[in-house]
Amino acid sequence: MSRTTVAAIHLDALRRNLARIRALSPGAKVMAVVKADGYGHGLERVARALAEADAFGVAAIADGQRLRAAGHRQRIVVLSGPDQAADLAELRRLHLDAVIHHDSQLTWLQADRDPRPLRVWLKIDTGMHRLGFAPERTRAVLEQLQAMPSIERDIVLMTHFAASDEFDKATTTDQIARFEAATRDLPGERCLSNSAGILGWPAARGDWVRAGGLLYGLSVIAGKNGSDLGFAPAMSLSTRLIAINRLQRGERIGYAGTYECPEDMNVGVIAIGYGDGYPRSAPAGTPVLVGNARAAIVGRVSMDLATIDLRNAPSACVGDRVLLWGRGLPVEQIADHAGTIAYDLTCGMTKRVLFVED
């Protein structure tokens, strides 16, 4: 019998989350960011659920290949553009949009003689200092691109916020001002806001918004769950209770005996570990749900198994389903305990987890 760790993907939640993003961004087109295999939810199934999005955002041409093979015909934007000159032919063959952010890419485009039109987005570095041209170069680079015969003239101007989740700081206000100054009187649609920008910066809505974490019901605001922001979790991760052991006060559990039983107690063993993508860093006290009862990790998470305190679930039985995160237990809570973020957890599921659509 196969392992019983299951990631249920809630397609209805994805669709509802897209609808809420549209409601928060009236007049703007929505790019659904589906990189990292749809934030760990599965690229093709996510794209199918989000088929009403105006575009998909991906990190690699390979993702564009998968989406085109699945039959998706809307715009697909490769967010880091070509990595080498040879990529230009594949971008054109698949009708992918390319984000242009570096002089090396301009050199490849200038030397390219392929007559097929390529649609591009021009990225401006307003403060993230990762990818993009300096603001003062915006006009010159735009004119250079527009002069290339194989580049479509309708070029989207974009930037990326570094701290849009910090609503009480001036970082994003300063970035918006730099972008507006750099693009003033220039043609082209504008794209500024990521998920947190959609929530907190209506002045930066522009013509396009790029929604990532919110589509999956993941919070982009520290101290908040996705549900606090009106979004539904798109993944529920669960496994089964495969053993219950009665341990005595003072006995230690698992590798290195990191947890000592404070009293006589039932300890459950569940069929999940870091080999499935559950975080090894999850300490004692990290919550799980056994039915409707809240239990907690005890001892060290191992490759295949973890142990849980069943004192709050006295009626638990072998075979019971145990929820690790999802509907009823926000993934952000587990991420907080494990010292990471929700994105890291959903993107970290391994191949031995069974994915099912719900």
Res 3 pLDDT > 80: no
Res 1 pLDDT > 50: no
Query: pLDDT category, 4, cuts 50, 70, 90?
Result: confident
3-state secondary structure of 21: helix
C-beta pairs of 258-265 under 8 Å, 24+ apart in sequence: 258/284, 258/299, 258/300, 259/284, 259/298, 259/299, 259/300, 259/307, 265/309, 265/310, 265/311
pLDDT over 70 for what percent of the chain? 99
Residue with tokens 């569940």: 270
Res 113 pLDDT > 90: yes
Instruction: Read off the pLDDT of residues 134-177 as tens digits, 9 standing for 90 and up.
Output: 999 999 999 999 999 999 999 999 999 999 999 989 999 999 99
Contact by Cβ (8 Å): 297, 273: no
Res 278 pLDDT > 50: yes
8-state DSSP, 91: H
pLDDT over 90 for what percent of the chain? 98
Instruction: Read off the pLDDT of residues 12-59 as tens digits, 9 standing for 90 and up.
Output: 999 999 999 999 999 999 999 999 999 999 999 999 999 999 999 999
- What average pLDDT does the chain have? 97
Give the residue-averaged pLDDT of 8-15.
Answer: 98
Give the residue-averaged pLDDT of 251-262.
Answer: 97
Q: What are phi and psi of 38, to 5 degrees?
A: 60, 50
**CATH no. of 11-219:** 3.20.20.10
Give the residue-averaged pLDDT of 221-227.
Answer: 94
Res 5 pLDDT > 70: yes
Tell me what pLDDT residue 2 has: 60
- The catalytic site residues sit at 35, 255
Quick one: which of 262, 266, 238, 242 has its CA closest to 252?
262
The yes/no answer on whether domain 235-357 falls in CATH 2.60.20.30 is: no
Give the residue-averaged pLDDT of 189-201.
Answer: 97
Q: Which helix (H) or strand (E) holds 32?
A: strand 29-33
Q: Are strands 354-357 and 6-9 parallel, antiparallel or unpaired?
A: parallel
Domain(s) labelled CATH 3.20.20.10 in the chain stretch across 11-219
User: Cα 148 vs. chain centroid, distance in angstroms?
Assistant: 34
Res 102 pLDDT > 90: yes
Res 189 pLDDT > 80: yes
Query: pLDDT category, 333, cuts 50, 70, 90?
Result: very high
Domain(s) labelled CATH 2.40.37.10 in the chain stretch across 235-357
